[in-house]
Amino acid sequence: MKTSADLIESVRTTITAPNNQTLLTEDRLLALANEEIDSKVVPMMCSLNQDYFVTMEEESMVADTAEYDIPYRSVGRTLRDLKVRDSANSVRDVVKVALEDAHLSSHQSLPLSFYFKGDQIVMVPTPIDTQWTLQKFYLLKPNSLVQLSKAGKVTAVSGNTLTLDNVPSAFVASATIDIIQGKQGNRLRAMDQSITNVSGSQITVATVPTGTVIGDYVGISCESPVIQLPDEIFPYLTFLTSKRCLEALGDYEGSNALEKEIQIRKKNCEYLLAPRIEGESTKILQRFGLLRGNRSRRTRGFF
């Protein structure tokens, strides 16, 4: 597991920058690292098609309501997949239709088609009851890196109360937080939890997720003091951030000198991260074939 402090130290060692460098504060360095994660690391990992960032969020459909939001933390405001679950827990695929053709599916009895309208999913036809639940699969954007002082580490768990080694000033009643796993991967155990009370080193939240343990981290929503990426990414991220730091300092010669090492580290990451399982290949199913009984759903206007 790598923290933001580990990254700061590694970058400063790489570019031999003194700790009292006034033009490159720790917050500024982390801001550059976050830009590199968003613009280079996440796209590289997504290109491997190994579903590193995939998560699922469920939302109950409301009778006579067709429009539902795409999760606001989704990478690129996109969905990986969309399914619906009925009251009997039967899961069905839904079909994306063109906006221009949505009316051709409006006579269906079940909401099994959709189209996009801006940042919303529009179900076709509009559900007439509450038995349906949307399952939104999407790529969850890693939280922005912040200094350790802006987060807290869990030292005790009791019901809905967490004891932390540090309670930042931003941790106040009604603030929303994320609870982050305290080991490699650093996945979110919970996101957007509301703080209901703060007392000394303890915070109380609406719900503490099962599995929360001593050593996990708590940060303001969308922030993390630990890098939510595989540890193998760390050398690549260090050099990407170092290059940006040198550019910020006006050292373009030093910046250009890092390019070869960046490409080597990128290639190493791609080799180590894909495939995620070597002993098994991905089985491709013909989701709408005759043997699966779904042929009619792929024919426009006849669902």
**Average pLDDT estimate for 98-119:** 88
β-partners of residue 122 are 67, 115
What confidence score (pLDDT) does residue 297 get?
43
Residue 226 DSSP code? B
C-alpha to C-alpha distance for 81 and 260, rounded to whole angstroms: 37
For 49, phi and psi rounded to 5 degrees? 55, 45
In this structure, what is the dihedral angle of CA atoms 255, 261, 263, 267, given to the nearest 10 degrees?
A: -150
Q: pLDDT value at position 227?
A: 97
Q: Is the pLDDT of residue 210 over 80?
A: yes
Q: What is residue 301's predicted lDDT score, i.e. its pLDDT?
A: 39
Check whether 298 has a pLDDT greater than 50.
no
Based on its alpha-carbon atoms, the radius of gyration of the chain, rounded to whole angstroms, reads: 23
Mean pLDDT of 37-51: 96
Closest CA to 25 of 236, 249, 255: 249
CB 171 within 8 A of CB 198: yes
Decide: helix, strand or coil at residue 133. Answer: strand
Predicted confidence (pLDDT) at residue 293 exceeds the cutoff of 60? no
Distance in angstroms (rounded) separating the CA atoms of residues 103 and 10: 57
Say how far apart CA 17 and CA 74 lie, in whole Å: 35
Give the Cβ contact number of residue 286 at 10 Å: 9
Closest CA to 149 of 25, 11, 24, 27: 27
Tell me the pTM. Answer: 0.88
Q: Quote the pLDDT of residue 295.
A: 40
Position 288 pLDDT exceeds 70: no
